Amino acid sequence: MLEIKSKLTSISFQRTVNIIWSLLVAVLALGFALFPILFVVAAAFNPTGALSTTTLIPNQISLKNFSDLLSDPAHPFLLWMWNSLKVSVITAILAVMISSFGAYAFSRFRFPGRQGLLYSLLLIQVFPNLLAMIALYIIVYQIGRYFPPLGLNTHAGLIFIYLGGALGGTIWLMKGFFDTIPRELDEAAVIDGASRGQVFFYIIFPLIRPILMVIGILSLIGTYGDFILARILITRTDNFTIAVGMSLFSNLQYNVEWGKFSAGAILGAFPIVILFYATQKWIVSGLTRGAVKG
């Protein structure tokens, strides 16, 4: 009798500990992550436009910054946000595709130069690319002379440049993930008569969904907030992405419109957070566990 009782309490005890512990961790982590962001929120709602890191609750609260931000025809914030979303989503989809093809090749095939190539891919990404900006600008300009839709000041050109990094460091992550899926699966399918392409799409692809989503999200965030490349390649205000557009409010130390900038930062972060929330079920699916068998 006593044995059974202690066993029962032990399970529910464990459950309680787990929940309390999770909540504690969550609160601490959220506190750490959100602490500075609360000041951004405060500044966004502060109509005087000041960025105070001393008082959390501003003297006046209003939506003035938001309305200023969204109603300025010279600075079309919503258009910028749309531009950024468009560019980053397309880049993410293409980057994930290109990256997964590459990772598949590295994982499944053995060919001469394989190790060398993997090493080189990593090393070349590590090259400090300060001067790359000049080179990339000239490349896009030259391409634009013959294929105008891909030239300077176009979104297609910007996406094209972003894809240069598709085979970057994340290919290791993908390859590692691919490696955990046993080759027996591939081989079984090939014996059944499937082509390599079919193996990729019908067998491997569903199993690597979590990592595809992760890399997609990483790519998305990276390009969404990119400031350096977009600033050089996009010159017309209407074509700006969100980071470039917002930088017009902050002339580095002088006349910075903190209120509008903060409001823009908050609004700009929304799509990312929502996207991440919505796509989490594909990352943490649980479907992939146990795919080993059979």
Partner 1 sequence: MKSKISKVGGPKRPSTSPLGFLAGYTLKLIGLAILDAIALWFLSQLYKDQVWFMFIVIGVITIGINLVFLVEKLYPFQWLAPGLALMILLVVYPVFFTIYTAFTNYSTSNLLTKSQVITALQSEQYISADGPAFSWTAFRSPEGAFAIWFISSDGKGYLGMPGQLLEQPLPGQGNLGALDENGVPLSLTGYTRLTKAQTVKHLTELTALQFGTKPGIITIASISKAAQYQQKYTYLPEQDQLLDNETGIVFTPVNGNFTSPDGTSLNPGFQVGVGLKNFIKLSNTAALRGPVLLVFSWTIGFALFSVLFSFALGLFLSVTFQNSLLPSVLIKAIRSVLLLPYAIPFFLSVLIWRGLFNQTIGVINRIFEALFHFSPLWFNDPGWAKAAIIIINVWLMFPYMMLITTGSLQSIPADLYEAAEVDGASSWQRFWKITLPLLLVSVGPLLVFSFAGTFNNFGLIFLYNRGGPPVPNTPTPIGHTDILISYVYNLAFGTSNADYGYASTITIVIFIIVAIMTIAQFKYTKVWEEV
Partner 2 sequence: MKKFSILLSLIALSGLLLAACAGTPAAATELPTTAPAALPTEAPTAEPTALPTEAPTAEPTATPTEMPAAEPVTLTLWTVSNYTAGFKAIIPGFEQEYGVKVILEEKNFGDTVTQLQSAGPIGQGPDLDVVQGDATGTLVAGGLLSPIDLGDKAADYIPGAIRGATVNGKLYGVPVEVSNVALFWNTDILQKAPTTWDEFEQTCKDVIAAGTQYCLLLQEGDAFGFFPVETSFGGYAFGFNPDGTYNPNDLGVDSYGSLQAAKWLDKMVKAGYIIAGTTWETAPTLFADGKAAMYITGSWNLPSFKAAGTPYAIAPIPSGVQPAAPFMGVWGISINAFSKNQALAQAFLTEYWSTEAVQLEFFDALHIPIGYLPALAKITDPDILGMSAAGTYANPTPTISAMSQYWSPVINAVTFIMDQKMDPEQAFKEAASQIRTLIAESK
Q: Does 205 bind partner 2 (CB under 8 A)?
A: no
DSSP annotation of 163 reads: G
Q: Which of residues 145-204 bind partner 1 (CB under 8 A)?
A: 145-147, 160-161, 163-167, 169-173, 175-177, 179-181, 188-189, 192-196, 198-199, 201-203
Question: Is 261 exposed, middle or buried (CB count within 10 Å of its CB: 0-12, 13-18, 19+)?
Answer: buried
Q: Does 205 bind partner 1 (CB under 8 A)?
A: yes
- The neighbour count for residue 128, using CB atoms within 10 Å, is 6
Q: Does 197 bind partner 2 (CB under 8 A)?
A: yes
Q: Which of residues 231-250 bind partner 1 (CB under 8 A)?
A: 243, 246-247, 250
Q: Tokens 């649980």 map to which residue?
A: 286
Q: Does 72 bind partner 2 (CB under 8 A)?
A: no
| 251 binds, options partner 2, partner 1, none, Cβ within 5 to 8 A by partner type | partner 2
Shortest CB 82 distance to partner 1, Å: 17
43-52 burial, b at 16+ Cβ within 10 Å, e below that, comes to: bbbbeebebe
Binding mask 75-104 for partner 2 (x = CB under 8 A): -----------xx--x--xx--x-------
> Within the chain, where are the H helices?
2-44, 64-70, 77-108, 114-125, 132-146, 155-162, 170-179, 183-191, 196-198, 205-207, 209-224, 228-233, 242-247, 258-283
Q: Which of residues 208-267 bind partner 2 (CB under 8 A)?
A: 231-232, 235-239, 247-249, 251-255
Q: Which is nearer to partner 2, 31 or 149 (CB)?
A: 149
Q: Does 153 bind partner 2 (CB under 8 A)?
A: yes
Determine the Cα–Cα distance for residues 129 and 122; give it in Å rounded to an integer.
14
Q: Which two tokens stand for residue 285?
A: 């699916």
Q: Which is nearer to partner 2, 118 or 132 (CB)?
A: 132
